[in-house]
Amino acid sequence: MAEAKVLDQIRISAKEILEDYRISILSRETSIIGRKEVFMGKAKFGIFGDGKEVPQLAMARVFRKGDHRSGYYRDQTFMLAIGELSVQQYFAQLFAHTDIEADPSSAGRLMNSHFATRMLDEEGNWKKQTELINSASDISPTGAQMSRLVGLAYASKLYRKNPDLSDLTDFTINGNEVAFGTIGNAATSEGLFFEAVNAAGVLQIPMVLSVWDDGYGISVPNKYHTTKEDIGKVMKGFQRDKDGPGLEIYQVNGWDYMACVEVFEKATKLAREKHIPSLIHFKDLTQPLGHSTSGSHERYKSKERLDWEKEYDCIKKFREWIIENQISTPEQLDKIEKDAKYQAKAEKEIAWAEYLESIKHDQIEAAKIITTVAQKSRYKREILEIKAELTKILNPLKLDFFKAVKRTLILTRKEKIPQRQRLINWLSKINEDNQKFYSSHLYSESIHSSLNIRGVKPVYSEQSKVVDGREVLQAFFDGALARDKTVIAFGEDVGKIGDVNQAFAGLQKKHGDMRVMDTGIRETTIIGEGIGLAMRGFKPIAEIQYVDYLIFAIQTLSDDLATLHYRTKGGQKAPLIIRTRGHRLEGVWHSGSPMGMILNSMRGVNVLVPRDMTRAAGFYNTMLQSDDPALIIEVLNGYRLKERIPDNLMDYTVPVGVPEVLRRGSDITIVTYGAMCRIVMSAAEELEKIGISLEVIDVQTLIPFDINHTLVESLKKTNRIVFADEDVPGGASAYMMQKVLEEQNGYHYLDSKPITLTSKEHRPAYGSDGDYFSKANAEDVFDYVYAMMNEADPKRFPEIYNKNYHIPQWNPEVIDN
């Protein structure tokens, strides 16, 4: 009777419960073995999902095809239960096996327990998500899964509310898809968590967010993380009630299987049917093996706590519950345990054997060739010692062989031994392989790569209208929204007023509030929203109001967006366009041009810096056809400058990686971008008057940068070069200099010291004078260029100032010393 009652209540058969139990044991055993493998030196680091098994089994019960997960490193039980991970694959990742088949989540690129499903086919196109279990790729920064979770859930809402999209059945069936989030208790202290939860409450989206609360974040107990030590309690203000919509907040003991199943059923029903978000606080979870392999939890947990954790281990409780309710017998459960443990061990062994096999071939080859070189070399003894050292290494890695080969080649560098060539060939093959294993897929490698989008020149006629720059963009965005129903735009003030500079003015009214939307002030979640939407088939244009405020979102941009394609080795992508504006206007927080910061943190995202709105429109058009993500920075003080709308506005594109020569000249090449183009051009006119001929080049795109190496061609002609921008000294100007002088071998052609002309180190001061004396201006360009000519030909270009007036970066006095 008792049995029937329980099973009736949760509508799960005894068989299913026992299968869940089996998976919980399989998962736990995987953790236990994994930890040992790390301690044996077979993997570098291990972090496991022990102590969180039971609620994850319950989550897997309600998760359907088409749904998405955005979680963190504790979710192995869920991934096993949902059938998207095998124990063997789990171990392949632990061992850093670089084969996609072996580790589909990351092809050995991520540390263990960073899960992902392969959402793209081999050509880089989306698979049919509605027929798949979808898991966004995990990242390590705590709480960072939250921002994209909002986008993954929001997509369902947009799909349901916009009937025009109902045929996009690869991504949605009536917006029924739920986005499941998971997060640790300690990570809820991150601003990302609160920002995303608030956004979910505002947007009313199908998000089911679980907090796995084990009382700790590494060694730090909840007392230091959470007000009242209870995140569920703290979140009560978000509870939907008579005052308005919000989230449904639940609190459940994570060791209580039945309660876990029930709560997921309730929360998921609300999400799927009504798009009401939930937060479920799973309390009283444990960490039987401690936080990770980095240290034991006995160091910081009291005996009482450790005893309690043993008592409340969720699997122990699950077993007790099964027996108590006569769903199975202890003997039967013992048998399940024994089989599951056996399976975990067997799969681990296969994973290890396959990993070894994958590197063995090259190693044997290297060892063989080293021996043949040794036979012919004067350094036979030393080389054989190198080889002997290799054989002493317990689990030799690729790098051990690589180093040994290099040492052998250095030793024999003066010898003419034919076998040396074989070693060199081996090195070059390994290098090539390793490029594929460790460095591919930073950018799209599909036919939709932005590098494949050809440039289409603007066409003008007598009918071409002359308008404010912002109207060029407005016309383009209008056309883009009309042309492609998956294009959407959102950000602070983007909806009703059409952004602070009016490029979307009237477009919400025309295309609807499911296409052009206002958001709250929450930059990092704006980006996350864009990532999630892009991962679900939209072409989002996410706006950050000023480039100065991009800093709030750098974490999401850098850790999530920029790494997504790389960290999944082409398994996932987010073709998101981020629109922002900057470079120059007023004061410390409205004039920034932190391009170096952006370039150094966002490799993996195109960084495009159009000098005017026509160029910007061309870049939007390029990127809307591409599957690379891009940041497009418009010139903040250019919206009211007059431009002509190209007649072919919707066809015209600006290619990425192709600089444009704005002015031909013969004395000095000046390389710049963005708002500086106009300034440099005006200085060039003044310089022309006194007989100095500037070649002005707008690089247009910083990532990718001058793919055809045209800048060095200009330098070959002028032999003098200046890199000018509005970043701090050593910022993007240094990046450009490295590209031209080092990558393009520009140093060969220099007759003068190469110069960077930048803003001051501090942020720009307010007002026109503050701007003038903080940022590079036309007079600075003139002075720097003139000083260069003065040094080259003092007779023709006598010094203008005396030695008391110092031109930074260019002071002949300093150079003479």
Ligand X SMILES: Cc1ncc(C[n+]2csc(CCOP(=O)(O)OP(=O)(O)O)c2C)c(N)n1
According to DSSP, the residues that pair with 278 across neighbouring strands are 208, 248
66: left (phi over 0), alpha (psi -120 to 50) or beta: left
The smaller minimum CB distance to ligand X, of residues 287 and 606, is found at: 287
Among Mg ion, ligand X, none, residue 61 binds (CB under 5-8 Å by kind): none
Tell the smallest beta-carbon distance from residue 294 to Mg ion (Å). Answer: 15
Residues 202-231 that bind Mg ion (CB under 5 A): 214, 216
Q: Which of 590, 643, 695, 791 is catalytic?
A: 590
The smaller minimum CB distance to ligand X, of residues 75 and 337, is found at: 75
Tell the smallest beta-carbon distance from residue 184 to Mg ion (Å). Answer: 4
Q: Which of 217, 596, 655, 746 binds ligand X (CB under 6 A)?
A: 217
Among Mg ion, ligand X, none, residue 140 binds (CB under 5-8 Å by kind): ligand X
Q: From the CB of residue 8, how many other CB atoms can be counted at a distance below 10 Å? A: 9
CA–CA gap between residue 16 and residue 706 (Å, rounded): 59
The smaller minimum CB distance to ligand X, of residues 171 and 216, is found at: 216
Contact in structure between 111 and 138 (CB atoms under 8 Å): no
Among ligand X, Mg ion, none, residue 537 binds (CB under 5-8 Å by kind): none
- How many of the chain's residues bind Mg ion (CB under 5 A)? 5
Determine the Cα angle at 743 with ends 421 and 660, to 5°.
140
CA–CA gap between residue 182 and residue 194 (Å, rounded): 14
Tell me if 214 contacts ligand X by CB under 6 A.
yes
Question: Token digits for 307?
Answer: 């005893």
Tell the smallest beta-carbon distance from residue 776 to ligand X (Å). Answer: 36
Tell me if 103 contacts Mg ion by CB under 5 A.
no
Among Mg ion, ligand X, none, residue 191 binds (CB under 5-8 Å by kind): none
In angstroms, the Cα distances linking 687 to 465, 515, 629, 722, 792 are: 32, 48, 39, 14, 15
Contact in structure between 91 and 347 (CB atoms under 8 Å): yes
Contact pattern from residue 111 through residue 140 relative to ligand X, giving x for each residue in contact according to CB under 6 A and a dash for the rest: -----------------------------x
Tell the smallest beta-carbon distance from residue 189 to ligand X (Å). Answer: 8
The smaller minimum CB distance to ligand X, of residues 186 and 712, is found at: 186
Contact in structure between 59 and 174 (CB atoms under 8 Å): no
Tell the smallest beta-carbon distance from residue 187 to Mg ion (Å). Answer: 8
The smaller minimum CB distance to Mg ion, of residues 185 and 358, is found at: 185
The smaller minimum CB distance to ligand X, of residues 138 and 492, is found at: 138
Determine the Cα angle at 676 with ends 672 and 682, to 5°.
105
Q: Which of 184, 396, 491, 764 binds ligand X (CB under 6 A)?
A: 184
- Which three-class secondary structure state does DSSP give residue 172? coil
| Amino acid making up residue 541 | I
Tell me if 190 contacts Mg ion by CB under 5 A.
no
Tell the smallest beta-carbon distance from residue 225 to Mg ion (Å). Answer: 8
The smaller minimum CB distance to ligand X, of residues 52 and 522, is found at: 52
CA–CA gap between residue 656 and residue 673 (Å, rounded): 13
Contact in structure between 596 and 734 (CB atoms under 8 Å): yes
The smaller minimum CB distance to ligand X, of residues 113 and 156, is found at: 113
Q: Which residues contact 708 (CB under 8 A, 6 or more apart)?
A: 657, 658
In angstroms, the Cα distances linking 134 to 15, 208, 722, 806, 807 are: 26, 15, 49, 61, 58
The smaller minimum CB distance to ligand X, of residues 190 and 471, is found at: 190
Contact in structure between 423 and 372 (CB atoms under 8 Å): no
Among Mg ion, ligand X, none, residue 142 binds (CB under 5-8 Å by kind): ligand X
Q: Which of 107, 133, 187, 680 binds ligand X (CB under 6 A)?
A: 187
The smaller minimum CB distance to ligand X, of residues 209 and 351, is found at: 209
Contact in structure between 54 and 258 (CB atoms under 8 Å): no
Tell me if 76 contacts ligand X by CB under 6 A.
no
Among ligand X, Mg ion, none, residue 148 binds (CB under 5-8 Å by kind): none
Tell the smallest beta-carbon distance from residue 254 to Mg ion (Å). Answer: 11
The smaller minimum CB distance to ligand X, of residues 141 and 537, is found at: 141
Question: Token digits for 539?
Answer: 């072409």
Q: Which of 216, 355, 401, 797 binds ligand X (CB under 6 A)?
A: 216
Tell the smallest beta-carbon distance from residue 141 to Mg ion (Å). Answer: 15
Residues 267-326 that bind ligand X (CB under 6 A): 291
Tell the smallest beta-carbon distance from residue 192 to ligand X (Å). Answer: 9
Tell the smallest beta-carbon distance from residue 214 to Mg ion (Å). Answer: 4
> C-alpha 43: how far from its chain's center?
25
Tell the smallest beta-carbon distance from residue 136 to ligand X (Å). Answer: 17
Among ligand X, Mg ion, none, residue 587 binds (CB under 5-8 Å by kind): none
Tell me if 692 contacts ligand X by CB under 6 A.
no
* Helix 778-792 / helix 676-689 crossing angle, nearest 10 deg: 50
Strands 630-635 and 577-582: parallel
Tell the smallest beta-carbon distance from residue 731 to ligand X (Å). Answer: 25
As a residue count, the chain comes to: 817
| Amino acid making up residue 567 | R
CA–CA gap between residue 658 and residue 677 (Å, rounded): 15
Tell the smallest beta-carbon distance from residue 578 to ligand X (Å). Answer: 22
Per-position DSSP letters for 524-571, written without gaps between them = HHHHHHHHHHHHTT-EEEEE-SSGGGGGGGHHIIIIIIHHHHHHTTSS
Among ligand X, Mg ion, none, residue 396 binds (CB under 5-8 Å by kind): none
Question: Token digits for 687?
Answer: 């310089």
Nearest residue to ligand X, scored by beta-carbon proximity: 184
The smaller minimum CB distance to Mg ion, of residues 27 and 185, is found at: 185
**Is there a catalytic annotation at residue 3?**
no
The smaller minimum CB distance to Mg ion, of residues 166 and 296, is found at: 296
Q: Which residues contact 187 (CB under 8 A, 6 or more apart)?
A: 72, 142, 143, 193, 217
Q: Which of 173, 202, 218, 356 binds ligand X (CB under 6 A)?
A: 218
CA–CA gap between residue 449 and residue 443 (Å, rounded): 8
761 burial via Cβ count (<10 Å: 0-12, 13-18, 19+) = exposed
Q: Which of 30, 89, 130, 142 binds ligand X (CB under 6 A)?
A: 142
Contact pattern from residue 168 through residue 187 relative to Mg ion, giving x for each residue in contact according to CB under 5 A and a dash for the rest: ----------------xxx-
Among Mg ion, ligand X, none, residue 673 binds (CB under 5-8 Å by kind): none
CA–CA gap between residue 248 and residue 260 (Å, rounded): 15
Q: Which of 18, 22, 141, 403 binds ligand X (CB under 6 A)?
A: 141
Q: Which of 185, 293, 669, 700 binds ligand X (CB under 6 A)?
A: 185
DSSP 183: E
Q: Which of 28, 69, 74, 536 binds ligand X (CB under 6 A)?
A: 74
Tell me if 612 contacts Mg ion by CB under 5 A.
no
Determine the Cα angle at 573 with ends 567 and 577, to 5°.
120
Q: Which residues contact 595 (CB under 8 A, 6 or more apart)?
A: 607, 609, 702, 725, 726, 727, 731, 732, 735
Among ligand X, Mg ion, none, residue 74 binds (CB under 5-8 Å by kind): ligand X
**Is there a catalytic annotation at residue 590?**
yes
Q: Which of 471, 523, 529, 791 is catalytic?
A: 523
Q: Give the binding site for ligand X (CB under 6 A).
A: 74, 140-142, 184-187, 212, 214, 216-218, 291
- Catalytic residue numbers, as ranges: 523, 590
Q: Give the binding site for Mg ion (CB under 5 A).
A: 184-186, 214, 216
